[in-house]
């Protein structure tokens, strides 16, 4: 069976590219602060670096969505400078 090579993150049906406001320190560490999903702005609480590879940083985060706390995994794609969540 032949594999499929994806050239663009937008081709990944399981990922949704989302806008994120984040903070960087002088050492290059990144912390997500806010994200927007389907037009809804969400404040990020307790971001925790869950997984780190050479191509992606994945954060486990809490967000407050309509007075309910939800956990999400938010990934930063280092080479593409894009953020995504699982669709």
Query: What is the pTM for the complete model shown?
Result: 0.82
Strand partners, 31: 23
Q: Are 62 and 73 in contact (CB under 8 A)?
A: no
What is the model's pLDDT at position 1?
47
Instruction: Report how far residue 48's alpha carbon sits from residue 38's, in angstroms, rounded to the nearest whole number.
Output: 23
Instruction: Report how far residue 28's alpha carbon sits from residue 24's, in angstroms, rounded to the nearest whole number.
Output: 6
What is the model's pLDDT at position 3?
47
Question: Confidence band (pLDDT; 50, 70, 90) for 5?
Answer: very low
User: What integer best gives the mean pLDDT of the chain?
Assistant: 87
Instruction: Report how far residue 54's alpha carbon sits from residue 52's, in angstroms, rounded to the nearest whole number.
Output: 7
């Amino acid at each position: 069976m032949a594999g499929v090579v994806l050239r663009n993150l937008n081709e990944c049906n399981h990922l949704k590219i989302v806008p994120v406001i984040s903070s960087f320190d002088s050492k290059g560490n990144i912390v997500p602060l806010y994200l927007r999903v389907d037009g809804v702005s969400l404040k990020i609480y307790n971001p925790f670096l869950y997984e780190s590879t050479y191509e992606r940083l994945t954060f486990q985060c809490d967000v407050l969505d309509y007075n309910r706390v939800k956990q999400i995994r938010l990934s930063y794609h280092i080479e593409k400078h894009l953020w995504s969540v699982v669709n």
